[in-house]
Structure 1
Amino acid sequence: MCRHLAYLGPDTALGSVLVEPGHSLYRQSWAPRRQRYGTVNADGFGVGWYAEGDPVPARYRRAGPVWADLSFADLARVVRSGALLAAVRDATLAGADAEAAAAPFAAGTWLFSHNGAVTGWPRSLAALARTLPAADVLSMEARNDSAFVWALVLARLRAGDPEGQALTDTVLEVAAAAPGSRLNLLLTNGDTITATAWGDTLWYLTEPGVRTVVASEPYDDDPRWQEVPDRTLLAASRTDVLLTPLKDPSTHLAPAPPKETGT
């Protein structure tokens, strides 16, 4: 499990979004308020951000807890951006991938994070691995469930699918193969944010034309935060937020036979 956040808005210091709010992502690494699974997110962290004039984001990731990294404190104080995605990580399973397993994952203009866990990993998704080109599997940054989910999303994005369709189809595919998975996905290209609420909390805060924040949980007590219903796709820009219900594949079952009635 983990906590994550994406921001679109005026250029601001990373710390003003990630560290300074009373219940910031930084604080959520040891004291989340709405986390349903796990209690401490100390197995790594990362932030990706966009610089003006460069569509390819920069990343800073580490394997340990964010509170122990003094270099991040300096970076967050002085680096400014109008678009970012960050996460703090609680590993589902022990592994040796270190910072490579920490979100955000990246390719081209995209940054991606997964808040949740795939049930039965890795065996539950073995069949899905065969749907990917071998090069995609071999080039995964890490050997955890989040990296694999990212590989599925990225394959769809590279095939030309819109962000919302890529996330939706991946969530439904993984949920069908591994029922009970928690699949809160978060994706940004620096201009938009796309996310899914599937098994865990997701909130958003928007000031149309000014800023939009999408996060696992509110980072302050602003009453304008709104919770995203479970099984929902969120598509956001700096001006608006659109919510679309998602259908759970477990509900697509054959109808029960009619009950016998006495005569």
Structure 2
Amino acid sequence: MCRWLAYSGTPQLLETILYKPAHSLIDQSLHSRLGVETTNGDGFGVGWYTQEDLATPATFRDIGPAWNNRNLRELADHVRSPLFFAHIRASTGTAVQQTNCHPFRHGRWMFMHNGAIAEFHRMRRELTMLIDPELYPNVEGTTDSEVMFHLALTFGLEGDPPGAVARMAGVVERVAREHGVESPLQMTLAISDGEHLWAFRYSSRHESRSLFYSSRVDTLRKLHPDMEFLQEVSDETRLVVSEPLGDLPGAWNEVPESTYGIVGPGGDSLHPFTPQAA
């Protein structure tokens, strides 16, 4: 499995979020507390939007561990973004190669995943053949995650992200039943179009991997008036993370089981998530 974070809000240097917290994502690459694996060293990736160009996210991905990558350290010190993803990978069986590192990108969309499709090797051909033929040439790697992304694109991600992910999950579970695979899907997902961020927590067994979101900034300012970072960011700033970046009281809230959330202009919200027939 993997660990990831998504940031949305006042533009920040990537290093502020990636490196500075006590239990940063870089620390989690060696010392994960809530993941299936303590070490997540099978590659990493960051993706970000700039204020000048929200339609074309940039990505940087590599197959080595995040904790000692000098290029990531250099990039994080100089790139400032209002919305970015970061992901550290622990392979569930597919190859350690750049095309299997998250986040994945299509047009203005970014996608990253923690979890797995159980017995994916038995269903891979059938699931892959359900991808829109026009999208199929864009599948570069061998992961279940990238197939999930392209299935969501096939089922209408660009017009209805929650519905598309629900239909993707429904198809995975249907195909799994046909192959005699019980409880096939385990996922925490982050998806963005550069303006909004959608985060999902779901598993077929209803025992999903950990996922948390940060409390409202105005609430945290009242609890921790001396924290300089909280004075510098807008009230709409949010983080969604696989596990908390520190032990600041009142800062982190667990995303409920079978739930998705929306972060973006105009406020945030949580909603029930249920797979749908496609």
Secondary structure at the aligned position of 2:135 is classed as helix
2:197 aligned residue (189, 193, 196): 193
Q: Please tell me the residue identity of whatever aligns with 1:180.
A: P
Aligned twin of 2:64: 64
Aligned twin of 1:217: 243
Instruction: Indicate if the aligned counterparts of 1:44 and 1:63 stay in contact, CA closer than 8 A.
Output: yes
Q: When the two structures are superposed, what TM-score results if normalisation uses the length of structure 2?
A: 0.82
Instruction: Indicate if the aligned counterparts of 1:168 and 1:233 stay in contact, CA closer than 8 A.
Output: no
Aligned twin of 1:204: 213
Alignment of 1:97-136 (within 5 A): 98-136=97-135
C-alpha change, 1:181 and 1:22, in structure 2 (3 Å) is same
Instruction: Indicate if the aligned counterparts of 1:9 and 1:211 stay in contact, CA closer than 8 A.
Output: yes
Q: Please tell me the residue identity of whatever aligns with 2:105.
A: A
Deviations 1:73-113 (A, max 9, x none): 111112111110110000111416x1111100001111110
Aligned twin of 1:156: 155
User: How far did 1:30 drift?
Assistant: 1.1
Question: Percent identity between the aligned chains?
Answer: 31
Instruction: Indicate if the aligned counterparts of 2:8 and 2:263 stay in contact, CA closer than 8 A.
Output: no
User: How far did 1:235 drift?
Assistant: 1.5
Residue 86 of structure 1 pairs with residue 86 of structure 2: yes
- Stretch moving more, 130-139 or 217-226: 130-139
Residue 172 of structure 1 pairs with residue 170 of structure 2: yes
Deviations 1:185-240 (A, max 9, x none): 11012221111112211110143633011111111223221101121122222553
1-structure distance, mates of 2:134, 2:122: 20
2-structure distance, mates of 1:122, 1:161: 30
Aligned twin of 1:255: none
Return 5+ residue gaps in structure 2 as ranges.
177-182, 203-207, 218-234
> Where has structure 1 moved over 6 Å in runs of 4 or more?
none
Secondary structure at the aligned position of 1:20 is classed as coil
Aligned twin of 1:244: 271
Instruction: Indicate if the aligned counterparts of 2:259 and 2:273 stay in contact, CA closer than 8 A.
Output: yes
Deviations 1:109-168 (A, max 9, x none): 11110100110112224333232233433430201111111111122346x531121222
User: How far did 1:23 drift?
Assistant: 0.7
User: How far did 1:31 drift?
Assistant: 0.7
User: How far did 1:12 drift?
Assistant: 0.9
Q: Please tell me the residue identity of whatever aligns with 1:181.
A: L
Instruction: Indicate if the aligned counterparts of 2:214 and 2:238 stay in contact, CA closer than 8 A.
Output: yes
Q: Which has the larger radius of gyration?
A: 1
Secondary structure at the aligned position of 1:154 is classed as helix
2-structure distance, mates of 1:134, 1:164: 22
2-structure distance, mates of 1:18, 1:238: 23
User: How far did 1:33 drift?
Assistant: 1.4
Instruction: Indicate if the aligned counterparts of 2:166 and 2:275 stay in contact, CA closer than 8 A.
Output: no
User: How far did 1:241 drift?
Assistant: 2.6
Instruction: Indicate if the aligned counterparts of 2:119 and 2:184 stay in contact, CA closer than 8 A.
Output: no
Instruction: Indicate if the aligned counterparts of 1:175 and 1:181 stay in contact, CA closer than 8 A.
Output: yes
Aligned twin of 1:23: 23
1:230 aligned residue (252, 257, 274): 257
Instruction: Indicate if the aligned counterparts of 2:168 and 2:275 stay in contact, CA closer than 8 A.
Output: no
2-structure distance, mates of 1:182, 1:167: 13
User: How far did 1:242 drift?
Assistant: 1.6
2-structure distance, mates of 1:126, 1:63: 25
C-alpha change, 1:175 and 1:243, in structure 2 (3 Å) is farther
Instruction: Indicate if the aligned counterparts of 2:47 and 2:59 stay in contact, CA closer than 8 A.
Output: yes
